[in-house]
Amino acid sequence: MNTKEAIYCRKSFRSYSEELLKPEILQDIEKAIQGAKPLYPHIRFGWEIIGTDKVKCVQNWRATHYIAMFTEEVDGARENLGFIFQQVELYMQSKGIGTCWLGLGKLNAGREILEKHSGMECVMMMGFGIPEGEEYRKEVDEFKRRALSEISDMEDGRLECARLAPSAVNSQPWFFVHDNETIHVYCITKYLIHKVLGKMNKIDMGIALAHIYEENKETFEFFKTENPKEIKGHYYIGSIKI
């Protein structure tokens, strides 16, 4: 399976074998992170691959490995993290490695890790490992997602990849507005769930953009327009050409 195909069958895995991934697999994941395209190349970010001993989480499932994601807190930082690490998520899923984004995780790391990433905050984690007893989705119908007509001002099949993207609590905060060749990308704020999730939804926006990038690697352009149209209950993230 390749990363594009992974978009249409991936899922969040919450059950893992206790067996650790081999060091060479972890090195390949490091390489996938280093090779991922950023949304904002100027924004400083960092990561650490850690074990369960360095993660505190109230949830009743544990992965065998985690990526702790660090970023400086500037405009676009969380969209950038979502964009980068969703490319890594698709890479792992395409190789049969289970993953799950983990907004509820807290880093319990020593001074060494914190000093290495000084000036940045650990704002998100992703659990991963060898999945146990769970399978990839076989049909697109197995994704619980809003219809294409609900996430865009026009039904555009090119946005199917974004429609299927994972998001915090499956909140799907994205809305797309067409303007000739350009598609303007907005984050929804009008519903309570989006108000509660706030910054987490910025990560989701980067994730959906990563799916569009994976489907359109050769042509994908992301940019900001000067006077984006205001839409009530939404804020502007950026614009794309694909």
Ligand X SMILES: Cc1cc2nc3c(=O)[nH]c(=O)nc-3n(C[C@H](O)[C@H](O)[C@H](O)COP(=O)(O)O)c2cc1C
# binding residues, ligand X (CB under 6 A): 19
Nearer to ligand X (CB atom), residue 154 or residue 169:
169
Q: Does 186 bind ligand X (CB under 6 A)?
A: no
Min dist CB 37 to ligand X, Å, is 18
Q: Does 79 bind ligand X (CB under 6 A)?
A: no
* Dihedral angle sign, alpha carbons of residues 191, 187, 123, 92: positive
Nearer to ligand X (CB atom), residue 54 or residue 182:
54
Residues in contact with ligand X, shown as a per-residue x/- string from 14 to 33 under the rule CB under 6 A: x-------------------
With beta carbons less than 8 A apart as the criterion, state whether 210 and 87 touch.
yes
Q: Does 100 bind ligand X (CB under 6 A)?
A: yes
**What is the C-alpha separation between 40 and 119, in angstroms, rounded?**
18
Q: Does 43 bind ligand X (CB under 6 A)?
A: no
Among 168, 177, 205, 212, binds ligand X (CB under 6 A): 168
Q: Does 101 bind ligand X (CB under 6 A)?
A: yes
Nearer to ligand X (CB atom), residue 134 or residue 179:
134
Among 204, 209, 213, 234, binds ligand X (CB under 6 A): 204
Q: Does 203 bind ligand X (CB under 6 A)?
A: yes
Nearer to ligand X (CB atom), residue 126 or residue 219:
126
Binding region for ligand X (CB under 6 A) out of 11-19, 21-29, 32-40, 209-217: 11-19
**What is the C-alpha separation between 43 and 52, in angstroms, rounded?**
28
**What is the C-alpha separation between 80 and 194, in angstroms, rounded?**
19
- Residues recorded for the chain: 242
Phi first, then psi: give them for residue 69, nearest 5 degrees.
Answer: -105, 130
Decide: residue 220, CB within 10 A, 0-12 exposed, 13-18 middle, 19+ buried: middle
With beta carbons less than 8 A apart as the criterion, state whether 75 and 13 touch.
no
From the list 196, 199, 209, the residue with the least C-alpha distance to 163 is 209
**What is the C-alpha separation between 190 and 215, in angstroms, rounded?**
29
Q: Does 200 bind ligand X (CB under 6 A)?
A: yes
Q: Does 107 bind ligand X (CB under 6 A)?
A: no
Min dist CB 104 to ligand X, Å, is 4
Buried b (16+ CB within 10 A) or exposed e, 15-47: ebeeeebeeeeeebbeebbeebeebbeebebbb
Q: Does 196 bind ligand X (CB under 6 A)?
A: no
Min dist CB 51 to ligand X, Å, is 18
Binding positions for ligand X, rule: CB under 6 A: 11-12, 14, 59, 100-104, 143, 166-170, 200, 203-204, 207
